[in-house]
Amino acid sequence: MVAADLLRARVLYLGAPEPKDVLLSSLPSCPKCQYEYTYEEGDQLVCPECDHRWSAVAEAEGEEELVVRDANGNVLADGDSVVLIKELKVKGAPSALKAGTKVRNIRLVDGDHNIDCKIDGFGAMALKSEFVKKA
């Protein structure tokens, strides 16, 4: 049997509707089990192997790359070193982070505070990119 016939047999066995006539290779593989023969069901993609369902729209939107810029407009990347441009008060800490403090090996994340880092003598910290410049 050909892979497409195996897929149809498995889909019918599981009770799911038969996939539309779509080139099977044009659809992305399952993100959970990496099974390559997925199919569309409404606005979702379905893996017949593990029955994982995910949004086709989210799959297309997830391809955007995270771009974070510092106070001067320079693009930051994971592992960069940055310098604080403003004294930052930290809740629960006895002292503030001084302007000019160098932070090494940053990690970019999604969210309001888009830089995760460890500051020597202070510990783990989340910073906003508007308060740093690339070193």
85-108 pLDDT, tens per residue? Answer: 999 999 888 889 999 999 999 999
- The Cα–Cα gap between 57 and 60 comes to 5
SS3 of 126, please?
strand
Determine the pLDDT at residue 22. Answer: 44
- Does the pTM surpass 0.75? The reply is no
SS3 of 83, please?
strand
Domain boundaries defined on the chain? 3-63, 68-134
* Regions of the chain short of the pLDDT cut 50: 22-24
Cα–Cα distances (Å) from 129 to 96, 116, 123, 135, in that order, read 17, 10, 18, 13
Cα–Cα distances (Å) from 124 to 10, 117, 127, in that order, read 49, 6, 10
Q: Domain 3-63 - what CATH class?
A: mainly beta
Topology (CATH level 3) of domain 68-134: SH3 type barrels. (2.30.30)
Determine the pLDDT at residue 27. Answer: 82
Determine the pLDDT at residue 116. Answer: 95
